């Protein structure tokens, strides 16, 4: 048994490894959800580090272990500092540590804001595909919150075959809405792009609604906006009032994870005292154990699982290793003789 070499993988290398691989990554995320659903993973609750002096900020630790062919353990350590955006840098920054299955040694540190955005977008595209199967396929998408995650979700939808007749955008920040529209135009998105100054217009004119705001508590609570029974990807988790969820079919990625940390499903559980409003997980839908009805709003709330970061991170590691571009830090682990060097 030897100590594995330790590599550092930059954001540029991560982006190169993932570029144009939307279909493969969605397949990888699907396989990982199935593994997780079958119990071939360890995914304890995420740990939230918060600060009394910076209440909007947090750093989250997501430890996980994944079985199956990828077989790897590790940790994502991801910061969310929403005020960064006003200063011209992204909200989220992250690293992912991969640990060797046999020795436990960390063998790689990867830039992980791209990995995190990628697995989030791949999960959203996967959910859009599976959850639209029993209903009319959405043709009008609306982005509620138009930051980096919205951009990744759009590019994953486009990269997995979605095209839309209309794209709606709503953001509290006119600059964010304009920046996102600029991205959409450069991406060659077909159909008219409309910026909706009001949230209601956005929801009513979309049959696929993507929430990607940084709202800390629910701000959408009018049931009548959802009477056309849209498919909702509630990626930012805290936008919808519990009453909206109680009138919808709810699918999550993992029930234990999602009903925590003041997410809208957590608030719905607190309101009702039970979890009956959760129809099941995306894995349940993929396995045919749950078939959501077409005549109610359908809300997917993905808490975001560390196993997805690990699966995508290991994919990136393998791609970089295959290309011969691994940057190994020599002597990273140096104290290797139990009683010193002989
Ligand atoms: N569920 C998951 O697995 C997962 C993973 C990654 C990120 N996220 C979440 O995605 C969200 C978006 O992340 P991002 O990196 O794109 O952030 P960002 O800061 O780049 O963009 C967020 C945008 O939302 C807008 N916004 C905030 N409140 C709003 C409101 N009430 N109505 C309309 N617009 C509003 C902001 O103006 C901003 O443009 C975050 O909440 C993040 O926690 C979830």
Structure tokens of 105? 């040694």
* Distance in Å, CA 109 to ligand 1 centroid: 26
pTM over 0.95: yes
Length of the chain measured in residues: 342
Helices and strands, number each (H, E), in the chain:
11, 15
Q: What is the pLDDT of residues 180-204, one digit of tens each?
A: 999 999 999 888 999 999 999 999 9
Token pair 């049931």 is found at 223
Confidence of residue 318 (pLDDT cuts 50, 70, 90): very high
Whether pLDDT at 311 is above 80 = yes
Q: How far is Cα 170 from Cα 192, in angstroms, rounded to an integer?
A: 14
* Of 132, 130, 135, 108, residue with least CA distance to 29: 130
Q: How far is Cα 156 from Cα 125, in angstroms, rounded to an integer?
A: 6
Question: Nearest-5° angle of CA 64, CA 68, CA 73?
Answer: 25
Which DSSP state fits 220?
A: B
Q: How far is Cα 269 from Cα 259, in angstroms, rounded to an integer?
A: 7
Ligand 1: residues within 6 Å at CB? 80, 82, 85, 91-92, 116, 120, 144-150, 170-173, 176, 212-215, 219, 235-237, 302-304
Q: How far is Cα 37 from Cα 29, in angstroms, rounded to an integer?
A: 12
Q: What is the pLDDT of residues 221-264, one digit of tens each?
A: 999 999 999 999 999 999 999 999 999 999 999 999 999 999 99
Contact 138, 294 (CB under 8 A): no
**CA-closest residue to ligand 1 atom 29:** 213
């Amino acid at each position: 048994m030897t100590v594995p070499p330790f590599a550092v993988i930059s954001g540029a290398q991560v982006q190169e490894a993932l570029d144009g691989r939307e279909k493969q990554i969605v397949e990888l995320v699907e396989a990982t959800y199935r593994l997780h659903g079958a119990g071939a993973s360890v995914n304890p609750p995420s740990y939230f580090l918060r600060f009394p002096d910076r209440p909007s900020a947090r750093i989250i630790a997501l430890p996980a272990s994944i079985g199956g062919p990828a077989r790897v353990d590790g940790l994502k350590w991801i910061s969310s500092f929403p005020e960064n955006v006003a200063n011209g840098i992204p909200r989220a920054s992250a690293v992912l540590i991969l640990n060797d299955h046999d020795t436990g040694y960390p063998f790689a540190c990867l830039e992980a804001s791209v990995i995190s955005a990628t697995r989030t977008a791949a999960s959203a595209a996967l959910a859009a595909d599976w959850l639209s199967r029993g209903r009319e396929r959405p043709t009008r998408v609306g982005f509620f919150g138009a930051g980096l995650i919205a951009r990744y979700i759009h590019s994953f939808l486009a990269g997995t075959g979605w095209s839309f007749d209309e794209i709606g955008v709503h953001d509290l920040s006119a600059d964010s809405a304009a920046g996102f529209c600029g991205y959409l135009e450069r991406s060659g998105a077909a159909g008219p792009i409309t910026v909706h100054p009001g949230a209601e217009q956005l929801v009513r004119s979309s049959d696929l609604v993507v929430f990607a705001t940084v709202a800390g508590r629910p701000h959408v609570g009018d049931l009548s906006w959802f009477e056309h029974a849209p498919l909702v990807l509630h990626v930012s988790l805290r936008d919808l009032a519990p009453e909206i969820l109680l009138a919808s079919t709810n699918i999550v990625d993992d029930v234990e994870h999602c009903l925590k940390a003041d997410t809208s499903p957590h608030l719905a559980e607190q309101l009702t005292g039970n979890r009956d409003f959760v129809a099941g997980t995306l894995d349940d839908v993929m396995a045919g154990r749950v078939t959501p009805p077409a005549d109610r709003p359908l809300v997917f709330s993905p808490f975001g699982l560390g196993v997805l970061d690990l699966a995508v991170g290991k994919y990136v590691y393998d791609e970089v290793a295959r290309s011969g571009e691994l940057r190994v830090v020599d002597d990273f682990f140096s104290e290797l003789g139990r009683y010193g060097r002989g």
